[in-house]
Structure 1
Amino acid sequence: MGALMRSHDWSESPLGPPERWPDALKMAVSICLNSRFPMLIWWGPEFSMLYNDAYRPILGMTKHPASLGRPGRVIWPETWSIFGPQLAGVLEGEATWSQDVLIPLDRNNYLEEAYFTYSYSPIKHADGRIGGVFSAVTETTERVLGERRLKILRELASRTAESRTVPDACRQVVEVLGAGNPDTPFCALHLLDEDGNTLRLCASHGLAAGKVPAEVPLDADDPWCIARAVRSAEAVSLDFLPFRFGSLPAHVWPEPVRRALVLPVARAGGAGEASGALVVGINPRRALDDSYRGFLDLVAGHIATAIANARASEAERRRADEHALLETRFRDLADSAPVMIWVSDPDGRCTWVNRSWLTFSGRAMEDDLGDGWLDNVHPEDLPRCRKIHHTAFAQRVPFRMEFRMRRHDGDWCHVDDTGVPHYAADGAFLGFIGSCVDVSDARRWEMALRRSREELIRLNETLETRVAERTEDLAAANRQLLAQIEEREQIEATLRQLQRLDAVGQLTAGVAHDFNNLLTVVLGNASWLERAWAGADDPRPLRRITHIRIAAERGAKLVAQLLAFSRRQRLEPRTLDLNETLEKMRELLVTTVGGGITVELAPKAELWPALVDPTQVELVVLNLAINGRDAMSDGGRLTVRTDNVTLGDQTRPEEPGPGDYVELTVADTGTGMEEDVLAKAFEPFFTTKSVGKGSGLGLSQVLGFAKQSGGGVRIETVPGEGTTVRVYFPRTGAAGEGAAPSAAGFAGMAPACVLVVDDDDAVRHITASLLEGLGHTVVEAGSGGAALERLAARADIDIALLDVAMPGMSGIDLAREIRQRRPALPVVFVTGYADTALLAGIRHEHVLKKPFLDTDLDRKVRAALANTRAGTLDALMAEPDPAAEAD
């Protein structure tokens, strides 16, 4: 956008040429263009538009680049009724904040449903007049649509959970989808009938009578392609609906529905088969993207589950009714039959006998109930009869035995006694049902009764199995739905937090350099005044000066904290024990990868110390752990280990050179990488994850940090078995080695002649004053060209102190020129944090950060002079590492 603004013809714009723009507008445009957060400036009475690269996607294909410098009313006619009054209020001094506002945009050649959170703040001139409006914008369309669709899915789960019939389940589904939902302006649900040849309309919403057929033969081709979707078990997209069926209202929007989707409803237990189809209209103000299509697929899947559950409930009721009817008919038949029938309880006591039993025995009913029936058994057969009877009841198995039984006339008759267990519809054990028949006369009847009882048992067992399977399917579907809802909510919360942090970080880094310049002047002058007033007779001025210095130091700490928060500070490598760092991260790693993945730490005993930035190491481990987690969707093992290694010549550009390194390894048991994927693994923005699951920057950031730290990366992978990523950091001495020497260590060193180069007069003068107060001789220069002239005229200059961010020739450019003329001259770079990218190849011990005290300044200068080789331009100005620049 900066390049586009420079080449733009401003003659037709109300803003006029940029060189005549007021300072307030120039400052706002500078902040806007240097931010990666979407920002927009409305300037002047016509609210002419200026915006940055991050805002361009909001304009879509129809409004960019025509919007640049044009009045807002011309560019946004469809939304000016919303924007116009708000902007007019801001010109009166009233800032606004709007959250999740519906803004209908014509940015992709159709009127689109979109939602935004944005703020309007006045931009004031130096005299307090308001010249324009500054707006920070976040598009929240995906989050708002996601919450709306999740609400529909929850409502479907709640409404269909208690449906016990297929018609009720279909009615509940259509009522939820048709409850004024913009994403389902109309719907119709067809299911196959029992013969499987005809699709019948079960329920519909939002469609006039006759728009969809009530019956569709499965082997025919209907206008809505319902039969085609069921036959192929694949979705069918229908376009240009007004030409096919006339105007189909969207209800929520004034535009008619132009597109529909016919989704097959899967058959329970039938792989790749459909039992029906759902016709659903597509929101005319939204594109049918992956998110929209995924929502509709979830709806179709839930319909299939709800219908299968309702059919299982219907089958369960039918089996229970059939069992009750069979039992009633059995008792009626048994009471009138000539066969002796008996029923016992779970403990084996007789609870009922029919009239034939009483006629045969010649005894009263109460005499044969309980254990009284045993009195009819012959004494010789009684022990065997008891044993068989008790064993059958204890094991709940059918039995058959013959024994002699007393007849009513006193004679003994051989009978064949048979019993079978009797269960309720819910599987409860009720006892036994049996018959006692004359072997010679009633064998045929006894066998028929046995077959009837066996069939009854089979029906009960089949019913219980089907109910259990259907219950488990429904529970699994509900668990999956709840897990998807929870994951989506967590992702959206994280995204909103990252957007807020990024906005604050962009604004903070943009103004850090100027704040640090101001604090350098305040802090340096306060320190100088403290020394000047030390020992004065009146202590009050010294106290006030001390207060100023303390306040400036607190301001410097505040700016440093804000920069650390925004992640714009330079790397700060130090000697680090990687084993200790990983142990502190154990709980964080377990939480990050989730419960289905086992995390193992394998630290190397007597591990070498490494020279590395601790914060960046933690980000490397988390980056690699998240990659491993995403590669193990079904669970697995993540192993993090350390080791001491000595490497030879590198074979790939991303690997380190020869030497001693501390190795950090992260290994997973996931899907691994194919050769073509491995070849592109370190390319920025390359990713194999689905949309919204990854930026493609993880491995490129790991490589950039490792290279910038003096190491490298190796990847070992086997498709289907897993991936191992090895990150190498340079070995260093024991903890505490390599620390910067204190100023006291150079107390005997002679004063130096210092070349101070800074375009800010106040900063340059106070730096010179502090150096002179420390006993050094100072040569000042306000630009790179002036510095080169001083260097040519003064051979006694011992060291150069260069500000990095200067107009024209920067401190880095000046240092390169000095290297050509005075290669052995030590250099210290002074920075206000905002220019850290320029110092990517410079070691931190040769960088002085603003604001600084006189002790900091003296230590840096004397340290550079004491270690001449480490401070020379040849050592400092090596060509930057490509990976470091990419990082």
Structure 2
Amino acid sequence: MSNLPSPLAFLDVPGEMAALMRQKDWSQTPFGPLETWSTALRSAVSICLGSRFPIVLYWGETRALIYNDAWSPVPGRKHPWALGRAGWEVWAEIWDIIGPMFDHVMATGEATWSEDQLLPLNRFGYVEECYFYYSYSPVRGETGAVEGIFTAVTETTYRVLTERRERLLRNVSEATSATRAAVDACREGVRCLHEVSEEAPFCLAYLRDAATGALRRVALAGLAADDPLAPLEVTADSDALPWSFAAARQAPALIGGLAERLGGRLIGTPWPEPLEEALVVPIPGPPGEEPHGYLVAGISPRRRVDADYRNLFVRAAGHLGTAIANAQRYEEERRRAEQLAELDRAKTAFFSNASHEFRTPLTLMLGPLEDMLARPDRTAGEPRVGRQELELIQRNGQRLLRLVNSLLDFSRMEAGRMRASFAPLDLALYTAELASSFRSAMARAGLAFGIDCGPLDEPVWVDRDLWEKIVLNLVSNAFKYTLAGEVRVSLRRQDGYAVLAVADSGVGIPQSELGKVFDRFHRIEGQIGRTHEGTGIGLALVKDLTELHGGEVRVSSQIGVGTTFEVWLPFGHAHLPEANRVSATQVSTATRADTFVAEALRWLPDEPLPSAPMTRDEQVGGGQGRGERIVLADDNADMRGYVERLLKESGYQVEAVADGRAAVEAVQRQLPALVLSDVMMPVLDGFGVLRALRSDEGTGQVPIILLSARAGEEASIEGIAAGADDYLVKPFSARELIARVEGAMRLARLRRETADALRQANEVLEIRVRERTRERDQLWAYSHDLIGIADSRGIWVSINPAWTRTLGWTVDEIIGKTSEWLEHPEDRQRTRQEIAQLAAGAASFNFENRFRTRSDSYRTLSWTAVPEGGLLYCVARDVTVERERALELEQARDALRQSQKMEAIGQLTGGIAHDFNNLLTAITGSLELLQRHLNGEQPRAERYIGIAIASAQRAAALTQRLLSFGRRQALDLQPVDVNRLVTGMETLIQRTLNENIRLQLQLDAATWSTCSDANQLENALLNLCINARDAMIQGGQLVITTRNLRDPRLLMLPERLSGDYVELAVEDTGSGIPAAVLERVFEPFFTTKPQGKGTGLGLSMVYGFIKQSGGYIDLHSEEGRGTRVSLLFPRHQGVASEAVPEEVALQPGRGERVLVVEDEPGVRLLIVEVLKDLGYTALQAEDAPTALALLEREPQLDLVVSDVGLPGLNGRELVEEIRRQRPGIAVLLVTGYAEEAMDVQRFLGQGMQLLQKPFAIEVLSERIQGLLQDRREHP
């Protein structure tokens, strides 16, 4: 950029747009060549390109564009095409909006701006709803005329859409939350969404029918009600619509291609383009359940569905799901309220029916009781009946009758059959009379009782009996819940009403319960009073009776201060039904008052009562009690007195109390033998007594029996589960009570005896634990395993002495630290991960790592660890020796596998080599005969024949190498002096090596001899030297050593060798062999040399030869350091002698007859031709039967040349038969199988030889001539 000419220096700005402007040919644009640009234009361009704010210049009459890097994303795909082009061409779609603004600025020179201006741009292949904030500023030239417009632009599309969508979602939330039905919520949500049609051109809502599972349309907007796209009902898996409800079950599904499918009939209002996409969104149901339904929303044709657009409808569907869930809860609450009301009515009906049935037997019970109580105490001839028992029966019978009457009142009011007779009454006088009936009870309870019922200026229309029930219920209620203080009854006139107020200084009512105190059968749980008994219908009856009078009941209360009930009755009678108004004055009665007062008196503490002797039948206990003390708790005085009398008559001492707190205090004061407690009591109920006694160590073992009127198995289970020893349901017989008490006491005695036995057993157990602890300490101290305890971070808290014995570190050096400093660096990360898993609660088994010892060696440890109580309990076994042995075993297995692999390859190569030998024999023999027959007459043909013979000989050598590797070659095993062999090859080896390689022989003079094939050993040594040469391209040193090995096991070889061995080693300083290659170096045809530089059979031949010789080959190599190959041969017990071959002069043939037996036609023909050339008569046979037939016809045969591998009867068997018939006949056996050659060599006798394929003509000729000449000389 720095090389730009001076006039173009304004483009010397970094960035993409500056580079594009430098490369662009401006002469083809409305701007013209850069050299012609005005100073104003260059300055504006320089400012534009150098700014980081999005800026675009509109220049000249065409309003051509130049813009900077920050503005380049605005035109979308039109960039960089828009650079230098006319504005009307770039922005054709909005030119009607911005064109006039440009004209105004150019004409007047006045700047202008727009905020959040809607500009429908086509910048990505479709018209897009976009919003911008921009300002147009004039750029004046040197003459002062406006030459262009400098435009600073900010795209506000994201902000505008975000604000609009948030407002829309807020409207949806507010509208749907105000609904009480799922359908209404969907309709409101759909309406709100479609009101912003830029976001939702149309909208549908479907809800799932709980009964059928079908989807039912409940709301739509933007579509006609009969539009096929909005059917009233569909199945969730229907494919008749374009909406894929099944695909949207878990996540929103985008439906595309609507314009093509619907022929463009669905317009994306308010835009003119047809609708292309819609989104199906599940309306979420409860977690793990199917959606409530689906919301289908059209997608604006001027927007594409991105994460924000998709989230708009997902959140809207979420609001619908919340509203539907709320509506369902509201509907559920409404149904529950209706069910409760229905249950209340059913309960009232039941009690009404039952009460009707109760009144007759009650009448028959109470009437005779009153007669009996009215008689003298004793009438002659009648049985004695206790007056106290009769009074007890009467009191409880009247209580039951009052309850029955109240229930009947309820049922009559519920059915609308309550008949009230309203008459004018001096309400003050009557109310004072009713209230005063409680004065004696108040006095006995120690309460101040005030009655302030001043005269009213006019009578009040009431039903006398019903008003009596109102007053008595309210005063009785005040007495029940006022334990100290006062009760006041007052009557006053206020605001046209007669107001009865019953105020007390009692326990008060919680504010949360004030709205429920008049509910039928409602009772406040845990409320303290004189008794826990009650039905929950008294105040409900007061409310209903007051409303029957056209009045109302009010209540105010404060906990610990007191409660005031007010009954407001209007004066006059206009509010009362005319049919129920009477004028007769009713007579006062106090019958009901007596009943209320009598029951209230029973709530007070007992007074001493004379004990009447029990009848014979009542004495159920038989005096079996041992005088044990029993604490009895019951708030009902009659029940308390009755049970107390039964227990005392059975021989028990009884302390009776009226509430649970007194019972607990009596037990804590002196432990009783048993506690007998009612469940429903004031102050502290029976379950509270249970908790208090069971939680105290001193009283926890006291047996407790609960008494309750709640029947059923669940009540009994609840009592036993709470800790009671027994649970007795009222009503119960005297015999059952005494039996339960005696049974509980027997169990208590048994528990005490068991506890004593357990205590003794614990003492014995503690002794045993101490013994086991001592044994554990010994195990800890003397165990060979490393035992330790660590915290969750792996810091050792305690370790046993085995750590020091195994690793050498002291206890103090390890405790208080993790073992990270001991761990092998390669094991640290795994160990930290294992500790983390242990800390998370997972046990560890057989985890191995290595710990450093004080001597800087490493020991392999196998760990078992278990987390418990925030600590890690660990045991480690030293498996170093085991792992070393396992490694040795694995190496031995690898060697065995490699040996088996090489054995298999050897068998394969040996078989292939046989076939090659047959082929090569025919090829080389034929070529040699052809060469001999030409006799120098055709030099060119002889040259080609020579090349072919040389190639065949190389193939024969290759085949020989394969046989060597496969250990299938015939070895000529003779005693060999290895030192003499190496020394004899020194010159050959030196010539083979490069000049920059030094050869050094380190031969042990005392090296033993070995039994081997000298020629093959020479080939093996030469192969190793050649490989070493190729590995030392830059030069180096080659060392050949020999030595004796008395114990090869010292070499740590994978195979177990024993005995004496001779080692011949070749070591170089070359490049070495990579570890990945070492495993394959002995495989045939494997080579790392370039193509054409080797066959890959050198080392494999050496391997096969050594194995066939009964030896072992070991190869060690380090990349970059060199390679050492050791050949180990078994020691030969003897001295190696140098053999001198004896030369024999051979004579030509004299017409001797030779039988040739060969199944390969080419080889057979070759041998026949050679025999003819040598002057012999040849006979042919392709198999053994043919040969035996010729033998019978031919009286004179001198020699048999036979292949060993004949079909059927093989060559060896054939020769045995021929020699049986003609013992002196000479035999030459031929084979291509090395294994056969080795077997046949052991079979050969006098006048027999073996020739291995492939063979040369000269060798075949020599063998035949030698055998026949020997036969002539030794017939």
Query: What interval of TM-score do these two structures reach, taking the shorter chain for normalisation?
Result: 0.3 to 0.5
Could you say which structure has the greater relative contact order, defined with CA pairs below 8 angstroms and 6 or more residues apart?
Answer: 1
TM-score (ref. length: structure 2): 0.30
Q: Please say which structure displays the higher CA radius of gyration.
A: 2
